[in-house]
Amino acid sequence: MGKGRAPCCETTKVKRGPWSEEEDLKLVSFIHKYGHENWRSLPTQAGLLRCGKSCRLRWLNYLRPDIKRGNFTPEEEATIYRLHQSLGNKWSKIAAKLPGRTDNEIKNVWHTNLKKRLRSSTGLNAGEEASPKGSLNEVETSPEPSPNVSISLVGSNNSSKEDDVQKDQAFEFTEDYSECMGMLQEVDKPELLEIPFHLDPEVWSFMDDLDQFQQPENSLTSGDPQESEEDEVGKWFNHLEIELGLEENDNQEQEQKQGTRDEEEPSPPSLMESFEFLLDP
């Protein structure tokens, strides 16, 4: 099957290379409202000079709210190793077993860390890594690799856990939901998106989907479902701020001001405030 192939995007008018914060915001706000039913038409509708593929990639690998960033844990690395033994280079399938991790990320980790470590620990050459083809056959005979697999992985470069901690802390905040909704309303500005806004049910299904991605340990203990939903939205925005590099500035400012303001805390610059230039043509 699979006849023909649509030409990829028109390479003449699309922008390429690293994504700017402005583009990120546009993409995020659009997907937030309308979802991503059609990647091909999404860039046009969202006012992005990118091809759909690029948008999809950016969303899946970086902007998605459920992305878990930071170093891989030894357990994760062991899982990758184990799954790679049985699945081969099926990165998407491996990623499916690791919530919050993308196939691209796993692929990178494999090529940079695990393969190297495996090679050094087994004395294999680069081309002799746990062969996908051979390992596919091994699935039948040895579905479970030896348990000591993880041992060779545990000596990994987990020294910089700071990142993980920092990112995790991003999920321990409680931001006013109304502020988030204000942000969403801000991006509704027709001059920005040039599409009629209506409250698409997909937005809420999208929000609902967020719940699926949350790790149990990450979920707050609040019994109020609505409250937790608000928290999730807030977390997501905060997470986005961190990813866009806005949170760092906030932290620096907060560190500087910490001594002076304990009681009355002015709200930190919101995502939309940071992108004010977008809304002011």
Partner DNA sequence: AACCTCAGCAACCGCGCGGTT
Partner DNA sequence: CAACCGCGCGGTTGCTGAGGT
What residues line the site for DNA (CB under 7 A)?
1-6, 8, 11, 15-19, 36-40, 50, 52-54, 56-58, 61-62, 71, 89-93, 103-105, 107-109, 111-113, 116, 132, 157
Tell the smallest beta-carbon distance from residue 256 to DNA (Å). Answer: 22
Closest CB to DNA among 92 and 185?
92
Q: Are 53 and 18 in contact (CB under 8 A)?
A: no
CA atoms of 60 and 18, how far apart (whole Å): 15
Closest CB to DNA among 113 and 218?
113
Structure tokens at 37: 């039913």
CA torsion sign for 109, 114, 120, 126 is negative
Tell the smallest beta-carbon distance from residue 129 to DNA (Å). Answer: 11
Tell the smallest beta-carbon distance from residue 150 to DNA (Å). Answer: 19
Closest CB to DNA among 121 and 258?
121
CA atoms of 49 and 77, how far apart (whole Å): 37
Tell the smallest beta-carbon distance from residue 240 to DNA (Å). Answer: 14
The residue written with tokens 């991003």 in the block is 170
Closest CB to DNA among 15 and 189?
15
Distances in whole angstroms, Cα of residue 160 to Cα of each of 73, 114, 118, 165, 170: 11, 17, 21, 9, 17
